[in-house]
Amino acid sequence: MTPDDRDVEPWRWPDARWRGIVERVRAGRALRPRQWKDGARCAVALSFDSDHETNELREGGESIGRLSQGQYGNRQGVPRILDILAANDVRASFFVPAVTALLYPDEQRRVVAGGHEIGLHGWIHERNSGLPHDAERDLQMRAADTLERIAGVRPVGIRTPSWDFSPHTLAITRDMGLLYDSSLMADVDCYELLMDGKPSGVVELPVEWIRDDAVYFNMNRFAALRPYTPPADVYDIFRREFDGAYREGGIFQLTLHPHISGYRSRTWILEELIRYMRAHDGVWFATHAEIVRYAAAEAV
């Protein structure tokens, strides 16, 4: 629905109308285990969205400069991140647009060889929330087939490129038999996704823009957008998110982008965070799929 089509007088809506909109996709039962795997107190779900060149291509852009920043994600970002994860024996989840996988099949194989998970992240990082049903469904299924063919493992989870759903996204995700989505923000714990009030069978592992590097570091040369938070402050925000998760016995979920955080002045954030979290007893580092499976099985 475009803004033009939208009824711009929602204060006149009958209750059934606004309630129907809210009920399309809703958080249901929280899935919170009493403790995490092997008695751990806190679960850490690190994720990396390997958008690379698709951030430019998604809008039909052809800027060679911005495409080169995307290529940095492959040449420097992912290798630096994989080295940090390997050095600290941490496994994580990488959400990969199919076009990234087609550009860099070796990168995906290296990610899988490192013990990490690969999840869906659209075809070309398209704005899935604005797509017609058939196009969205076709792209999501083709992306799953492409990732499976390249990485050798069928994805079980999705992070939508828009971090948003169309009215059809959840039904498509459910029909594909995916275990989880990681794009919505209704809780700090995993939760059941309800569709029109009924359990969909899909689990949400929630994200938040607060725990996303792009929010703090993105820059657009010809617009006013500039990084406005120093790396040390970004680290501080992430660390406090972890502190809260540890205190509450919950999940610390984080999203970084190789082409945004994979720089000499920023990779220390990931290294320092891992070191800080490792210094706490009972922290379980796992992939999103592992955490979702555990939460769904052990929820009290």
Q: How many residues does the structure list for the chain? A: 300
Q: Pick between residue 32 and residue 125 the one whose CB is nearest to Zn ion.
A: 125
Q: Pick between residue 49 and residue 53 the one whose CB is nearest to Zn ion.
A: 49
CA distance 177 to 198: 16
How far apart are CB 32 and Zn ion at their closest, in Å?
27
How far apart are CB 95 and Zn ion at their closest, in Å?
7
User: CA triplet 58, 26, 295: central angle to 5 degrees?
Assistant: 90
Local structure of 45: helix, strand or coil: strand
Q: Pick between residue 89 and residue 164 the one whose CB is nearest to Zn ion.
A: 164
| CB-based burial label for 110 (10 Å; 0-12, 13-18, 19+) | middle
CA distance 231 to 251: 23
Query: Which of 179, 226, 193, 188 is closest to 210 using CA atoms?
Result: 188
How far apart are CB 159 and Zn ion at their closest, in Å?
7
Q: Pick between residue 47 and residue 267 the one whose CB is nearest to Zn ion.
A: 47
Q: Pick between residue 36 and residue 217 the one whose CB is nearest to Zn ion.
A: 217
How far apart are CB 287 and Zn ion at their closest, in Å?
18
Q: Pick between residue 36 and residue 95 the one whose CB is nearest to Zn ion.
A: 95
Helical axes 78-87 vs 267-278, angle rounded to 10°: 20
How far apart are CB 51 and Zn ion at their closest, in Å?
4
Query: Which of 107, 76, 75, 80 is closest to 94 using CA atoms?
Result: 107
How far apart are CB 34 and Zn ion at their closest, in Å?
34
Q: Are 182 and 290 in contact, with CB atoms under 8 Å apart? A: no
CA distance 50 to 72: 11
Q: Which residues bind Zn ion (CB under 5 A)?
A: 49, 51
